[in-house]
Structure 1
Amino acid sequence: MGKGDRCAVFGCNNDRRYPEKLLIKDHVTTIKWHYCPPKSRRIWTKLLNREGFEVTSNTRICSNHFVLGGPHGQHPHPCLYMRGPDTSTHSLEIQEIISGAEPTSTTTTRGGQVKRAKHETRASKVAKISSDHCYDTPSVAASEEMPLDSPPSPCRSSSFSCQDLKEEHGYAFMSESEVCTCVKCEVCKRKWRDLEHDRDSLREERDRLKEEMEKRNSEVQTGKDTVNHIYDIENLKHSDKLIHLHTGLASYALFIWIFSLIKPKLPYMQYFKSSQSQSTKSYQVRRTNKPGPKRLLSYQNELLVTLMKIKLNLSEQFLAHLFSCGISLISQVLSTWLPLLSLELRCLIHWPTRNELKLYMPSCFAKYRNMSAIIDCTEVPLQRPSLAKANSQIYSKYKGRATAKILVACTPSGTISFVSSVAGGNMSDKEMVKRSGILDKFAPGDTILADRGFNIQELLLDKPVRLEIPPFLKKKKQFSESENKTTKQVANARIHVERVIGRMKDFNIMKAELPLDMADLFDHIVIIVASLVNLQPPIIPL
C-alpha cells in the first residue's frame, strides 16, 4: 500500500486507489485525503484511539471525518465517524458540533452497547465554581419575581454582591441566549439550515463551472473557438486599402494568391522551437497532418502576422497584444514563416533572357544595346554588436554606423531580377559584385548600368560585357560637353534602380534598426521584400 492511500480512521475503508468503492457522506462534496500538521499529531493520535498507532507525516484522513470536509476554521481536527461510517449514530454529532451543543463522548461496554456521556458545558462549570465559592447567584425563577430595582442580596462569604461580581468578572458568566442545552433548539436549526443553503449554493456554482468547462472543451475540439482577436484577416479583407496598409499587398485577392501557393505545405510544416526542429519528423515523411492540439491562430492570421512584421515592423509584444496570444507564439510564427515565404516566393525574382528583355524594353533604354540590368547597393541599419572586431566588419563609413549591405539588380522594366546575400557595411561595391555571384548571370554582349562606385571593368574581362557608368573627373577641372551629356544619360536611366530600392524601403523593416537576434532571418526578409515589390504595378510605363 502506498503512503497515505488509505484513511487512518478505524472502520473507514476509503482508499484513493479504488475510487469506485469510496463512501461519501452527505456533508462532503468531494473526498480528499488530509495530512496532519506536526503540531496536531498528538491530538489526532488521541482522537483516532488506535492501540499502538501514532500519526506521522504519511497519515491521511478522508473528508468524511471533518465537519467542514477538511481541517478548516473552528474544526481543524477529525471528530465524525471515528468508529466507522455509521450514519444512524453520527448524524446528531454533526449538529451538536456545528450548533455548539454539549459535546458527547462514546464508550463501549463489554456487551457491545454504546453509551453516550455528556461533558460539562462552560455554563455548568461556571455554576459549579460559583456554588463552591458560595456566591449568591439567583435562579431564573427568582430573578423573574424579583423587581429590577431591588438591591441584590449579600453573599454569605464575601463582601461583594453577585452584581458586582458580574461587573468585575463578566467573562465568566453567559447569558441564557448564549447557552444552548438542546440540540433541537431554534438556534441550532437556523445554523443547520444556513449551512445547508451554503452547501447547495456551492454545489450549484460547481455544476455551473463544470458545465462551462465542458462547453469550452467541446468548442475547442470542434474548431468553434470563440477567442476574439483584436486583429483578424476577416476584419480586413473587405477593404483593399486596409490590406495594403497592413501587408503592402495591393488587394486581398493577392493575399489569397500568396496563401494558395504555400497552403499545400502547411499541414506538414514544423514550427521552429530549437535546433531540434531541423530534424525531419515522421508525420512529414508519411505526409500526414501534424499531431497535437489546434493552433490558436489560423494559417491566414499567421501569414498576416508575418506580413505585418515586414510591412510595419511592429514589435513582437505589440503583435501578441493585437492577436491575443503569447509573445513566444509570435516569435515561433515569425521564425517559421519567414524562411517558408522566402522559399516559396523566391521564384518571383527572375533573371530574364535577352529575348524576354526585348519584349519589355522601355523607350528610355533604346540607345543601349542589349541592356540586361541596372545594379546598385543599399544599406540597412543594424544593431551595434558589443565585440569591437564584429563592429569593424559591419561598420559603414558612408552611413557612419553599423549596417547590412545588399546588392540589388533590376531589369530595364523596373522588376527586381537579383538580390545578393547580406554582407557587412564595410564591404566595397566592387567586392559585393565579386562575391554575390551576379557575374555568372551576365551573357556575352550584355550591357549593365551602374554608379561610379562600381569600377568593375577588370571583373568583366572574362566576358565581353559592356559597363556603362558616369565618367570620372580625374585631374580635369570640369567635364566636357560630351561627358556631361553621357553623365545625364546614364543618370536618367540608372535612376530607376533607385526607385526600385525606394519601394523596398517602403517596408519599414528595411528602414528600422535590425536587431542582432534576427540577423539569421535577414536574408529571407530581403527575398520576401523583393518578391512583394515585384507584385506591385510596373515602375516604368512600357
Structure 2
Amino acid sequence: MDTRYPERCVGIEFVPFVKPGKFNYHYDKCQRWVTACYRPNSQLRPEIIGRDHFICSQHFVDGKPTEENPDPISADPFGKPTKKRKLRSVSNEVPAGKRKKNTVAANETEEDAMCENFAGLKDTEKQPGSSTQESFSQSYSNAQVGNAVQNVSETSGQTGVSAEAEQPSGSDIHKFLRNRDISCKKCGETVLLNTTEMQMIVCNTFLHRILSSDEVCFKYTGVPSIQMLKFLFEWISKPAEETRIWGGKNKLRPGRFPGRGRHSYKISKFESFMLTLVRIRKGYDMDHLAFLFGISQSHVSKVFTTWVSILNQCFKPILKWPSKEVSKRNLPESFKDFPNTRCVIDCTEFQVEKPFRPAAQRLTWSNYKHNNTTKVLVAIMPSGAIVFKSSVYVGSISDKEIVKKSGFLSKLEAGDDVMADRGFNIRDLLLFKKATLNMPSFSHGRQLTRKAVQKSRRIASVRVHVERGIGRIKSFRLLRGVISLKVRFLLNQILTIVCVLCNLQKRLC
C-alpha cells in the first residue's frame, strides 16, 4: 500500500515496522517481519530498518499485531520457501571422452590433502561415513554437554543410561545452542526464555554473585562488607527517589519534552547503585555494563552520570576536617616523635587521554610523569584516614601552587604541624597560619649530619602512610591507567566517592 494514493488507503492503518534496536534485542522479530514481506534484500533488510518504515494493516490477521498473531502474514506468492538448485556432478555435464583426467586427478589430490590437514587425521584413522564437520561437532558436544547430561542422569537416579546416548548429535548441535530454555531438575519442566528474560537472568546472577560474600563484595564495589553496602543504599535511596535520570545535555532543547521517547528502559535503583560502584571499582566499559545489566550503552552513561552526582552529594559532607582533639585521640604510636602532627600531605597524578587542542596538551603535560596528567592534593590523618582532597588541577602546576589554590591553608590552625615531602617548600605559607612544617632535610651538596639523617629517616618511616592511602585510591581501576576525556567532568566527584570508600576500610596504622 502506498500513501501517495489516498483513495486506496481508506480504512487502512500503517503499523510501525519493528526495529532491531541497540544490541539487536528485536533482531529475530524484525527478521521474521522482513521475511514475511517477501522483498528483495536490496530493498528491505533489518540493517536498513528506520523510523520511516511502516507495514500495512492488511498484512495482519487481526488488522494489527496481537498476542495471538504478532507477526504479519507471509506475502510469498508461491506459498513455499524457494530451494537452492543442487549442482550436478562433473561426470553428468561433460562427456566421458572429453574429460581432462589429469586436471580432475590433481584437484582430487589437493582436496584430499586439505581435508587431512584440517582434520589432523590419517586415512587409517578416518571412519567410513563421517566427515570433518561431524567429528568437530561431536567433540564439541562431548566437551560442552557431557558434564551437564551426566549431572542430570545422576540426580534423576537413572542407572544403566550412558551420557553419550542423550547428547545431541553433530547435526542438531546448532539447534541445541540456539535454544534458550531452562529445565527443572526435579520435575523436568522446560521453560523457553526470550531475550529480555535472559538479560534479567544475567543481571540477577551477577548481583547475586557480588552479594554472596564480603570478599566478592569488596572486590567488585570497594565496600568492605555486605551489611555496609546495604546501609549505604538505604541511606542514599531517599535522595535518589527525588532525582531524575540525567538525559544528556540536549534533552531539554526546544521542542523536546522530558520523560518521553520510544524506548522505555527499566532498571531498579539498587541496580543503578551497583552499576555505578562496579564501574568505579573495576573500570568496566559501557559495552560490558550494558550487557551485564541488560540496557543500552547510552542509558548506562545516563545512569552512571546521575548516580555519581547523587553519591557525591551524600558523601561530600563525610569527608570533613577533624578537630585537634580527634587527631590527638587517634594518634598512633608510630607518631610519638611527632605529637603535634595534624596531617600528612602529598600530591598524586592521574594519567589522562591526550587532548586534541595544543594549548590543553601543554597545560596537562607533566615533566615528572612524561605524560598528560591531572594532579590532586591529598591530606590524611596520622591514623591514615583521608580528610582533605583538593579539586583536580592540570599536570603542569607545581605542588606549592596547588597548596595555595586548593584551600588547604584555611583548614590549619595555630600550632599545627604538617608533614610533607621535599617537593613542598611551603614553610613561608605556613608561617601566616602559625603552623610548622616537617620534611626531610636538604643536603645542599654537603653530607648530612647524623642528627639530620636520623630525623629524615623517622619522617620517611611515618610519611609512607600517605603513599599507602594514595595506593588505596588508585586501587579503583577507573582511576588507573589512562582516563578518558569523557570522564573529566566527573573526575572531581568520582575522587570524592573513592576517598570516602577508602575511609570505610581498615585503619592504615
Report the counterpart of residue 360 of structure 1 in structure 2.
330
Q: How many residues align?
A: 337
The reply to whether residue 340 of structure 1 matches residue 310 of structure 2 is yes
Report the counterpart of residue 372 of structure 2 in structure 1.
402
Q: Distance in 2 between matches of 1:305 and 1:418?
A: 27
Report the counterpart of residue 227 of structure 1 in structure 2.
200
Question: Can you list the C-alpha shifts for 1:466-492, whole angstroms capped at 9, x where unaligned?
Answer: 11111111131x110010011011111
Report the counterpart of residue 77 of structure 2 in structure 1.
73
Give the drift of 1:294.
Answer: 6.9
Q: Distance in 2 between matches of 1:274 and 1:368?
A: 51
Q: Distance in 1 between matches of 2:280 and 2:333?
A: 34
Give the drift of 1:74.
Answer: 7.7
Report the counterpart of residue 452 of structure 2 in structure 1.
483
Q: Using a 3 Å threshold, how does the CA distance of structure 1 residues 371 and 381 change in structure 2: closer, same or farther?
A: same
Question: Can you list the C-alpha shifts for 1:115-141, whole angstroms capped at 9, x where unaligned?
Answer: xxxxxxxxxxxxxxxxxxxxxxxxxxx
Instruction: State the one-letter code of the partner of 1:348.
Output: I
Q: Distance in 2 between matches of 1:362 and 1:62?
A: 82
Match of 1:523 among 489, 492, 495: 492
Instruction: State the one-letter code of the partner of 2:225.
Output: S
Report the counterpart of residue 386 of structure 2 in structure 1.
416
Give the drift of 1:385.
Answer: 1.1
Match of 1:439 among 389, 403, 409: 409
Q: Using a 3 Å threshold, how does the CA distance of structure 1 residues 69 and 507 change in structure 2: closer, same or farther?
A: closer
Report the counterpart of residue 506 of structure 1 in structure 2.
475
Partner SS for 1:227: helix
Q: Distance in 1 between matches of 2:244 and 2:12?
A: 41
The reply to whether residue 316 of structure 1 matches residue 316 of structure 2 is no
Q: Using a 3 Å threshold, how does the CA distance of structure 1 residues 342 and 15 change in structure 2: closer, same or farther?
A: closer
Q: Distance in 1 between matches of 2:73 and 2:460?
A: 88
Question: Can you list the C-alpha shifts for 1:335-362, whole angstroms capped at 9, x where unaligned?
Answer: 1111221111112212100011121111
Give the drift of 1:229.
Answer: 2.5
Partner SS for 1:403: strand
Partner SS for 2:202: coil
Give the drift of 1:235.
Answer: 3.5
Q: Distance in 2 between matches of 1:450 and 1:383?
A: 29
Report the counterpart of residue 493 of structure 1 in structure 2.
462
Give the drift of 1:333.
Answer: 1.3
Q: Distance in 2 between matches of 1:252 and 1:74?
A: 63
Q: Distance in 2 between matches of 1:70 and 1:523?
A: 57
Q: Using a 3 Å threshold, how does the CA distance of structure 1 residues 69 and 460 change in structure 2: closer, same or farther?
A: closer
Aligned 1:110-189 pairs, distance under 5 A: none
Larger radius of gyration: 1
Give the drift of 1:447.
Answer: 0.5
Report the counterpart of residue 301 of structure 2 in structure 1.
331
Aligned 1:91-110 pairs, distance under 5 A: none
> Does the 8 Å contact 1:380/1:404 carry over to 2?
yes
Give the drift of 1:499.
Answer: 0.9
Match of 2:232 among 258, 274, 277: 258
The reply to whether residue 238 of structure 1 matches residue 212 of structure 2 is yes
> Does the 8 Å contact 2:199/2:292 carry over to 1?
no
Q: Using a 3 Å threshold, how does the CA distance of structure 1 residues 326 and 446 change in structure 2: closer, same or farther?
A: same
> Does the 8 Å contact 2:386/2:469 carry over to 1?
yes
The reply to whether residue 267 of structure 1 matches residue 267 of structure 2 is no
Match of 1:249 among 195, 198, 223: 223
Question: Can you list the C-alpha shifts for 1:217-276, whole angstroms capped at 9, x where unaligned?
Answer: 9xx9xxx99832345423421221211111121111111111112101222212222235
Q: Distance in 2 between matches of 1:258 and 1:490?
A: 37
TM-score (norm 2): 0.60
Q: Using a 3 Å threshold, how does the CA distance of structure 1 residues 496 and 69 change in structure 2: closer, same or farther?
A: closer
